[in-house]
Amino acid sequence: MNYPSTTGKKLIALAGNPNVGKSVFFNYLSKVYVDVSNYPGTTVEITSAPLGNENENILIQDTPGIYGVSSFNDEERVARDIILYADIVINIVSAISLDRDLFLTKQLIDMGKPMILAINQMDEAKSLGLNINIEKLSELLGIPVFSTIAITGEGMEEIKNAIYPLSSSIEKKGKVDPILKNELTEILPLVSNQAEALLLLEGDLVIAERHNIEPRNKRSELYSQRRKEVNDLIEEVTLYKNKKERFLTKVSNILIDPLWGGIVAIFIAYLFLYQLLGVWVGSNLIEVTEGKIMNVYYEPFVRENTSQIFPVEIRRGYKIFVFQNGFLKDKEQYKTLVEDREVNKSIKDEYFFGPSDYIENTKSAPTKLTNNLYSATGTILSGKYGILTLTVTYLLGLLFPLVLAFYMALAVLEDSGYLPRLAVLIDGLLSRIGMNGRAIIPLILGLGCVTMASVTTRLLSTKREKIIAMTILGFAIPCSAQLGVIQTLLAKSGGLSSWLIWLSVIGSVLVLTGYVMNKYLPGKVTPLLIDLPPLRIPRLKNIYYKTKTKVMFFMTEAVGAFFFAAFIVGCMQVTGLLQKVIKIFEPIVMDLLHLPKEVSISFILGMVRRDFGAFGLTELAMTPAQVTVASVVLTLFVPCIATVSVMAKEQSWKVAAGIWISSIVLAVSIGSVLAIILSA
């Protein structure tokens, strides 16, 4: 990695504990262009950009959230190296957890780094009745200190003015304990700078190996002294006017209580998955967006215009109108069609652009349309699986409302501070299946996009935990669009009983998968270390930007894949290959799963995009039992191509292939058993 110091640029590093608002600071201070890349030798992503709009020679770089500068994990190693090379450090702390966050502040001061201290979330501190004497804290630490409310921009301009242009006041390096200062002076000739000297005193093996020096073993002594100094600081600069526990604090305690927190979590799952995605959006809203807007207005419009030039057969009840060369070449018959539409307005048109359009009903295959390239093109564009009809309808009428609703609800849970509490609540369960509570983050993100969630398994501490999380994501976690379609099908068909069966089966697979892997994979579960940010009333601005960013990312990724999948299926349809594949799957689909043979198409589509496969189920007439079985099987079925690629990149192709093959066997096996039980 080329550090700014080697390229003639100044480096400003943002450092702080998790959940203190570093990302908001970064977005405010940086230019629009942001560079995100993997730190060499790790899977940790770092974000960097020029400072402001005036000077390209000053680079601002974010660091992972850390509690101290050391070498215990990838995040700390990345943060350590960035801080070591930084010209200035902006240390961001939370006003409501000052006693915790100032521990890192003191370490940075002891490292001799020129720095600014930003005390963020001052509004939350005031709501707690907490007053912080900023001037006194700046005097005691010997560095510039500013109070901020990053989400509203309060105090941010002062931070920017302090660092651009580079202020001479920042060259103050803070007050270091005299005894420690003497020890650092003694060891300084052995290393490059005071920062490395401190890390060597603390026993950092990486720094010791870098300079081929025996590490000192003073970590416990230094940490104890640092903790005492922070406690003394807190005593001097903070004052509580009101020590009464807030209502939200009581709510927070309820949310992490095993009994009441569990009840709340189940209720949120019901409200989020079944009621929101399945009923309000999946049934009510999509009835308008897909059932009325796209099916009634958009698709007939596209098919009517496609029929102008491509061969088409239109069926209206018992009447058949055949246009071998489209409407434009047969104006007389088109006139007859228009007259029939005027007389019989209640009859719905059925468009067939070639013999392949009759794939679901071979008995009524046409005899007049020729199966040539011209006819095949019309089928691919506007036929049953047309890229201008089905694909656009699915993307705009079905996928977009579901994804929008999902990410909006997720933004509310995230912005309210509920997700970290869910991690604490579920830590006991996840520890029994090989992971700690932190794994709930990629599992929940998987409900949005499994591909994205597979990347976020990086935040887990060990390779063992990452493999377990990826396997569970591949087996039992549906992405947002697939989840929304399945919730819609279950709500419309079997109602709450079908939904509970689906949820029980998927939940059991998740738990059993983790249990088996935890038992046989070598290693142990790492303990959970996570912050509990205060509960907040979600801010509309935050929800808007989080939802907008994630929906745009998801749709941008999905659009190309969906059109490609529709094109492939269309080509298979016009060549007859699709019918042959259906016949191959028939014994499994019909005999084992007791489902209509057309469900085979959903399996084929699901290999390209899971959610695209789920959409195929909406076109089929099935009993509640069949809907339940199909929903379970498709949820457990293979991860999409993009997810498999990410899994291979994050781990290996061997791991990705194992998950892919195992998911097929698991889905068919469980689906077969469930079909027997429900049919009985």
Domain range spanning residue 440? 392-679
Per-residue pLDDT at 285: 85
What residue type is 447 in one-letter code?
Answer: L
Domain assignment present for 302: no
Domain end, chosen from 240, 264, 285, is at 240
Q: Considering Cα of 195, then 201, then 205, then 210, what sign does the dihedral take?
A: positive
Same domain, yes or no, for 433 and 565? yes
Nearest to 576 by CA among 331, 376, 312: 376
Same domain? 230 vs 357: no
Handedness of CA 269, 271, 276, 279 (dihedral sign): positive
Please count the structural domains in the chain.
3
138-186 residue pLDDT tens? 888 888 899 988 878 888 888 888 876 555 445 556 677 777 888 888 8
Q: Are residues 421 and 506 in the same domain?
A: yes
CA dihedral 529, 535, 537, 543 (to 10 degrees): 10
SS3 content of the chain, % helix, strand, coil (to 5): 65, 10, 25
Classify residue 256: in a domain, yes or no: no
pLDDT tens across 413-439, in order?
888 888 888 888 888 888 888 888 878
* Within-domain flag for 304: no
Assigned domain for 631 exists: yes
- The more confident residue out of 459 and 315 is 315
In this predicted model, what pLDDT tens digit does every residue of 662-680 receive, in sequence order?
888 998 999 999 999 988 7
Residue 454 shares a structural domain with residue 588: yes
d(C-alpha 601, C-alpha 592), whole Å: 16
- Asked, for residue 84, whether it belongs to a domain, the answer is yes
**Is residue 491 domain-shared with residue 357, that is, in the same domain?**
no
Domain boundary among 224, 240, 256: 240
> Is residue 301 assigned to a domain?
no
The answer on 642 and 538 residing in a single domain is yes
pLDDT recorded at residue 301:
92
Q: Which of 37-46, 335-344, 491-500, 581-590 has the highest mean pLDDT?
A: 335-344
Tell me: do 328 and 225 sit in the same domain: no
Nearest one of 655, 659, 615 to 637, comparing CA atoms = 659
Mean pLDDT of the residues in the chain = 80
> Encoding tokens for residue 183?
């020890």
Looking at residue 608, what is its pLDDT?
65
Q: Is the overall model pTM greater than 0.85, yes or no?
A: no
- 65 shares its domain with 120: yes
Domain boundary residue among 188, 221, 240?
Answer: 240
pLDDT digits (tens, 9 = 90+) for 635-646: 888 777 667 777
- The enclosing domain of 149 has a CATH number of 3.40.50.300
Percent of the chain topping pLDDT 70: 85
* Same domain for 416 and 356: no
Does one domain contain both 426 and 316? no
Collapsing DSSP states into helix, strand and coil, what is residue 39?
coil
- pLDDT band of residue 242 (cuts 50, 70, 90) is low
In the prediction, which pLDDT does 1 show?
46
> 533 and 619 share a domain?
yes
Mean pLDDT value of segment 477-484: 75
- The reply to whether 249 falls in a domain is no
Let me know if residue 374 belongs to a domain.
no
363 and 415 inside one domain = no
Contact between residue 313 and residue 320 where contact means Cβ atoms under 8 Å apart: yes
